[in-house]
Structure 1
C-alpha cells in the first residue's frame, strides 16, 4: 500500500484539463485510497461547514476513487492526470495488491 500511496502522492500539483475543466491534484486520501482534484478556474460553489450550513465560496473539488466504476482499471481522470509512464506504475502497484483483475 505504501508504494501505491507514494506513486499517488507524486500526482500532487499536477494539472490537466479533463472534460473542459482545468484541474489540479491537491491531496491524496489514504482511505480508499482516493485522489482529491480541485478545479482551477470557473464558478465558485458554496462550501458547507460540518453542520451543512453555508460557509464560504470556493472552487469545486472532486474526490475520486483510484479505480474506475467497474474496478477494472485506473479511474480515467486519474489516468489523464498521471499520464504515462506513471499510469503504468500505478497499475502495476494495483496489480501487486490484487486490486485489479
Structure 2
C-alpha cells in the first residue's frame, strides 16, 4: 500500500504541535511551501541574538530551526520522521 502524499494543507494542521528535534523541545510554528519545510521554534528559555537585515545584533529571540519534509530524492526525510508527527497528519 502506497501512503498518500504529504500536502502543505496536511502539514499546516501540525502548527502548534510540540515536538522533539535532536533532543530539543520545540513547537511547530510555520510551514514553508517550498520544500516543504517545517519551521520549529525552541520551547526552552534560552534565546539567541537575532541580527537585523544588515547582520547587526539587535535583540534576543527564540531560536528557529527548519526541517525538510522530503529529502533530495523526494522521499520523507529522516529528520521529519524523527519528529514523530506522521501519525498526526490527516488528509485535506
Task: Give the TM-score normalised by the residue count of structure 2.
Answer: 0.74
Could you say which residue in structure 1 is the equivalent of 2:11? 8
Structure 2 residue ranges without an equivalent (≥5): 1-5
In structure 2, what is the Cα distance between the partners aligned to 1:23 and 1:75?
18
In structure 1, what is the Cα distance between the partners aligned to 2:26 and 2:88?
20
What root-mean-square deviation, in Å, do the aligned CA atoms of Structure 1 and Structure 2 show? 2.3
Moved beyond 6 Å, runs of 4+: none
Structure 1 residue ranges without an equivalent (≥5): 91-101
Number of aligned residue pairs? 85
Match among 12, 36, 40 for residue 39 of structure 2? 36
